Amino acid sequence: MADARPGGPARLHRGPGRREAVTAVAFWYRAAAFVAAHGITSIRRYLTDNGSCHRSTTWANALAATGTTHKRTRPYTPRTNGKAERSNGTLAREWAYVRDYTSEHERRVTFAEFVNYTTTSGHTVREAPRSRQKV
């Protein structure tokens, strides 16, 4: 389970009781506050696994309180997680670690350009990945 800390990156939390609903809800409220502090005031959907904490009434009430729709992965279907892992790998290979950034502003600008590049009609399967294109 990730733990978003204000002013810092998400990190892995492996404390006791990590699958309990109360722990999950506490994380949810911290994460929602973290993204709100960075200008994201609405979270439309949240994808989770089917752990007991994510099936609880406590969890459902927390998501409802923030106006968020809960989406669950299909049980025993690794392709959902595979898509997320593929997306993370693409971000790492083609944006995050392609070059050094001199400022947070520069990193954010290049991220916006990357998202625009990958979501517009100009990005097709026939193009080489950005990491293999000649600069």
Tens digits of residue pLDDT in 114-135: 887 777 655 555 555 555 566 5
32 pLDDT more than 90:
yes
pLDDT digits (tens, 9 = 90+) for 61-112: 999 999 999 998 887 777 777 777 777 788 888 888 888 989 989 988 988 8
25 in Cβ contact with 62 (< 8 Å): yes
Sign of the CA dihedral 103, 87, 12, 7? positive
**Overall residue count recorded for the chain in this entry:** 135
Strands 2-4 and 10-12: antiparallel
pTM: 0.50
- 93 φ, ψ (degrees, to nearest 5): -75, -40
Extract the runs of DSSP E, i.e. beta strands, from the chain: 2-4, 10-12, 45-48, 69-72
